[in-house]
Amino acid sequence: MSCPLERRQVKLSVTIVCYLLHRAVTSMLKILKSFFATSSFIPHGHCYLWQPQLVGLHIVSDLLIGLAYYSIPIMLVYFVHKRKDTPFQKIFLMFGAFIIACGTTHFMAIWTLWHPDYWLFGGIKLITALISLYTAIELLTLFPQALALPHPAQLEATNQKLAAEILVSDAAIKYRLSAEAALEQSESRLRLIFDYAAIPIALADITGELVTTNPAFQKMLGYSQNELSGMHFKEFTHPECLTVEEALFEEMRLGQRDCYQIEKRYLSKSGQVIWVNLTVSLVQDAQGKPQYCIALVENITQRKQAEAALRHYQEHLEELVAARTAELIQVNEQLSWQAGHDSLTGLVNRREFEKCLEKVVCNARTCPQESTLCYLDLDHFKIINDTCGHLAGDELLRQISCLLQSCCRKTDTLARLGGDEFGLLLYQCSLDEAMRVVQALHEGIQQFQFVWQDHTFRLGVSIGIVAIDTYNLNLEDILNAADTACYTAKHQGRNQVHIYQLDNRELQQS
């Protein structure tokens, strides 16, 4: 029930609104029609003739407005010319054209008071209208950009912020300039150190090719910087040193070591061998990636030459020492031999013979082995000395010594005890075996003939034998016993062999 009523009320309201709008439009059309009606139209200028003061007022007003309109564009153009950074310069020029056109219409209003050039006046007004319309359109498009421009408060805040940033920037610039100056000074100092360092220095990439070298390095090898640049270290390394350094360099390049130090040899441009103590270090960036290598080189050629010379001198000295030692050993051996041997016959002398005899006696105390001592005295030796002289006697002793040695065993000890007396020590030899040796000696001397100049001599020998056993273990007693046995042989007629017996003690004591 309520819905149809509401629809009727809405329809009535719409009808009333439409009626009111129709009355309003009809009234506006009547007003426009009465405004443009020709019955009330008065031609231009006719009203001015009624009141001359009014004509003067319009002339003065139009003239002042025209002058003002012409002066404003001039100032705008001058401003734009001086301030080329002014935004929206085009709109300033359009405003200038618009104002000039408006001023021209005011001058034409004065002109038409006396000259009815209304077509020209209308054309100028049309131009003014077009310029005004174009300016309005341009201004409309510029409104968003103009509105986007900051207002003075924003500009002030921006200026203050900019001033603060400028201060910070100035401080940053000063710090950066200071840091750059310090860095430049540090680089200059490092470059001076690199260039004037007395020790050779080289920079190489991670492949081993040289990047730069200092003058000391160039002087050492005899190459210029241009020649060394790009050269691999293998090219001036001695071939015998390549294997070791290549292995060390590869370990360093792979990060297995930070540096290495070796003694190696370089080959200079002229082919000269240069000994160096080389220290190579790896330089890495912040991420640990290898960048390049620094090589510090110490020229140790003079030291190596000095070491070689010293080594040669030591070898020569060792040779001299060895020769001198051998000579001293030979001299000592000779002196030792002379101390224990007879200089005439070369046989063991009495002192050495007694030492050998003492050893036999000491051994016999611990090991019951029988040895034999023989005491030999040449018969009629004094006759040869008196007849032919001491030279003949010395020669006789030498020949007799050789004869006795030929008849003895190699293990026995034959000695000249003094004058024409000899001693024979038979090791581990019983009396029976000793008798066979002694008989050979005795027969050899009997068959021996000594010829000196025109004289021929035959000799005899008296031999005393004593056994060294557990009953005779006193050195002095043994020597006395042997001497007694030899004396007994001489006493019994010479040229005989006598074995010491216990009953000989009475003869020994007498």
Tell me the pTM. 0.44
Question: Is 344-509 CATH 3.40.50.10470?
Answer: no
Q: Which of 472, 404, 413 is nearest to 441 (CA)?
A: 404
118 φψ region: left (φ > 0), alpha (ψ -120 to 50), beta (else): alpha
Q: Which of 439, 469, 472, 444 is nearest to 458 (CA)?
A: 444
Tell me the average pLDDT of the chain: 81
**Is residue 480 within 8 Å of 508, Cβ to Cβ?**
yes
Token digits of residue 434: 């000793």
Looking at the predicted structure, is the pLDDT value of residue 41 above 50? Answer: no
Interacting residues of 253 by C-beta distance below 8 A, sequence separation 6+:
206, 282, 290
Which architecture, in CATH terms, is 197-299? Answer: 2-Layer Sandwich (3.30)
Q: What pLDDT shows up at residue 506?
A: 44
Q: Which residue has the higher pLDDT, 86 or 197?
A: 197
**Rounded CA gap, 191 and 244, in Å?**
32
Query: What does the CA dihedral 184, 190, 195, 199 come to, rounded to 10 degrees?
Result: 180
Residue 507 — pLDDT band, cuts 50, 70, 90? very low
Angle at 433 between CA 490 and CA 462, to 5 degrees: 10
Q: What pLDDT shows up at residue 150?
A: 63
What residue segments make up the domains of the chain, in order of their start? Answer: 47-147, 158-195, 197-299, 307-340, 344-509
493 φψ region: left (φ > 0), alpha (ψ -120 to 50), beta (else): left
Express each pLDDT in 373-384 by its tens digit.
Answer: 999 999 888 888
Looking at the predicted structure, is the pLDDT value of residue 289 above 50? Answer: yes
Looking at the predicted structure, is the pLDDT value of residue 45 above 60? Answer: no
**Is residue 241 within 8 Å of 264, Cβ to Cβ?**
yes
> Do 197-299 and 344-509 have matching folds?
no
Looking at the predicted structure, is the pLDDT value of residue 42 above 80? Answer: no
Q: What pLDDT shows up at residue 510?
A: 39
**Rounded CA gap, 73 and 64, in Å?**
15
**Is residue 248 within 8 Å of 257, Cβ to Cβ?**
yes
Q: Which of 216, 265, 214 is nearest to 238 (CA)?
A: 265
Angle at 251 between CA 250 and CA 257, to 5 degrees: 140
Express each pLDDT in 440-477 by its tens digit.
Answer: 889 998 899 888 888 888 888 999 999 887 666 678 88
Q: What pLDDT shows up at residue 6?
A: 61
Looking at the predicted structure, is the pLDDT value of residue 44 above 60? Answer: no
Q: Which residue has the higher pLDDT, 50 or 324?
A: 324
Looking at the predicted structure, is the pLDDT value of residue 1 above 70? Answer: no
Exposure string (b/e) for 109-121, b if CB count within 10 Å is 16 or more?
bbeeeeeeeeeeb
Q: What pLDDT shows up at residue 376?
A: 92
